[in-house]
Structure 1
Amino acid sequence: MIRAIALDDEILALKIIENYAGKIENLSLEKIFNIQSDAQRYLNKFPVDLIFLDIEMPSKNGLDFYKSISQNTKVIFTTAYSEYAVDAFSINAVDYLLKPFSFERFKTAVEKVKLNSVTDDVQYLSIRADYKLHKINFNDIVLIEGLDDYIQIHLKDNSKITARSSMKNILEKLSEKDFIRVHRSYIVPVNSIRTIVNRNIHIGEFVIPIGETYKEVVMAIVNK
């Protein structure tokens, strides 16, 4: 199921999207918004797979709004202005719908999202940070560390990517067979759990404590 929201300052445009979305299987339009701050608050609390997003709005431009979103969310722009198309696709928009668009055109755009969901993130983690969309190979991740409202992804080339996300949300984007949460502040690749000393996992220079809540699951992996 694709969880979506729509943001447009025109109520009529939102009603059209709401009508079209209701006709498509496996698409759930969770909320519609005509005020950006309301949409932002929702995105800060709930994971969303897709945003239908207008570009010309009274406050922040839709392109800038999308760049400011911390969670990895796909976007289909819905606008009356063709001149933003190049900029939209440069930030990995799934599609660009020019108003007024038909149901068939809308459906085609959503089908692209479904196709990407099957093929895109099987071997990769896609996450937005520093106003860019990062596509990270699972094999390049050393560990993921929770820092309050942010997570820090430590990579094999010694670089780090810091993004606004909860540990719960980031875990949902990872392969269950390849990654495991071992502590409220740490997620590690399963195949990295080789050495455990005094209830600490050693991965290179990192010493990661095993939380009491996660001890049983970690030990089950080690004893396989």
Structure 2
Amino acid sequence: MIKAIAIDDEILALKIIETFASKMDGISLEKTFHKQSDAEKYLRKFPVDLIFLDIQMPNKNGLDFYKDLSQDIKVIFTTAFSEYAVDAFDVNAIDYLVKPFSFDRFQKAVEKLSLKSSNELQPQHLLIRADYKLHKIEFEDIILIEGLDDYIQIHLKNAPKITARSSMKNILVKLPEKDFIRVHRSYILPVKAIKGIVNKNIHLEDFIIPVGETYKDDLKKIIGYY
């Protein structure tokens, strides 16, 4: 199921997207927003797969809003202006819908994402925005991920740490479930990096990480003992 939100300063435009999405299987329109700031707050807490995004908006151009997002989310632009199409595809938009668009055109745009997702192999990397650019991080290069309030810090092999605005919940869903585990409210680890557990502490190559009480059962399921 594709989880989506829609952002548009026109209430009617949001109603149309709601109506079209409700007619389709495989997509759940979780919420709609007419203010970008409200959408941004929502995305920090709740991960989604897709944004339907207007470009011409009062406070910030939709393209700039999308470029500034810290999360790796697909986008379908919905706009009355055709002149932004090239810019939209420069940021790898799934599609570009010019208002007024039909249900058939909307459906084809969403199906592009479904087709893309089904044809892609399991990714071996994490894409995350930090320091005003998109970072591609190989899963195998991650030593651990540390939660710091509204930010995360990704510790890497032979590379500087990357600090990005994200929640631990949002980053965990982007990682392969069998390869990474959350062991504490502040720590996510690669399973294969665990050397052993001594006195409720996980020993890695260069770190000793405490095990949170909430996560003991999950750890036992993954590694077979605790």
TM-score by structure 2 length? 0.87
Deviation at 1:151, TM superposition (A): 0.8
Counterpart CA distance in 2 for 1:69 and 1:82 is 23
User: What's the C-alpha RMSD, in Å, of the aligned pairs?
Assistant: 2.3
Counterpart check, 1:76 vs 2:76: yes
For 2:35, the equivalent position in structure 1 comes to 35
* Cα distance, 1:163–1:177 mapped onto 2, change above 3 Å: same
Counterpart CA distance in 2 for 1:117 and 1:127 is 18
Off by >4 Å, runs of 4+ in structure 1: none
1:44-69 per-position Cα deviation (integer Å, ceiling 9, x unaligned): 33222211001011111101111232
For 1:127, the equivalent position in structure 2 comes to 128
Bigger shift: residues 78-87 or 17-26: 78-87
For 2:203, the equivalent position in structure 1 comes to 202
Deviation at 1:216, TM superposition (A): 4.6
For 2:115, the equivalent position in structure 1 comes to 115
1:67-123 per-position Cα deviation (integer Å, ceiling 9, x unaligned): 232232211111122222222222222222222222222112111222343426543
For 2:167, the equivalent position in structure 1 comes to 166
User: Residue 193 of structure 1 contacts residue 222 of structure 1 at CA under 8 Å; is this kept in 2?
Assistant: no
Counterpart check, 1:144 vs 2:145: yes
SS in 1 for 2:101: coil
Counterpart CA distance in 2 for 1:43 and 1:151 is 15
- Identical amino acids, percent of aligned pairs: 71
* Cα distance, 1:45–1:168 mapped onto 2, change above 3 Å: closer
Counterpart CA distance in 1 for 2:2 and 2:156 is 29
Runs of at least 5 residues in structure 1 that lack an aligned partner in the other structure: none
Counterpart CA distance in 1 for 2:142 and 2:216 is 22
SS in 2 for 1:159: strand
Deviation at 1:222, TM superposition (A): 5.8
SS in 1 for 2:111: helix
User: Residue 85 of structure 2 contacts residue 96 of structure 2 at CA under 8 Å; is this kept in 1?
Assistant: yes
Counterpart CA distance in 1 for 2:163 and 2:115 is 28
Counterpart CA distance in 2 for 1:149 and 1:168 is 11
Deviation at 1:135, TM superposition (A): 3.3
Deviation at 1:21, TM superposition (A): 1.1
For 1:91, the equivalent position in structure 2 comes to 91
User: Residue 6 of structure 1 contacts residue 52 of structure 1 at CA under 8 Å; is this kept in 2?
Assistant: yes
Deviation at 1:217, TM superposition (A): 4.0
Aligned length: 224
Counterpart CA distance in 1 for 2:207 and 2:90 is 37
Residue 166 of structure 2 aligns with an amino acid whose one-letter code is: S
Counterpart CA distance in 1 for 2:37 and 2:211 is 39
For 1:25, the equivalent position in structure 2 comes to 25
SS in 1 for 2:78: strand
User: Residue 193 of structure 2 contacts residue 205 of structure 2 at CA under 8 Å; is this kept in 1?
Assistant: no
Counterpart CA distance in 1 for 2:212 and 2:159 is 25
For 1:187, the equivalent position in structure 2 comes to 188
Counterpart CA distance in 1 for 2:92 and 2:160 is 23
Deviation at 1:149, TM superposition (A): 1.0
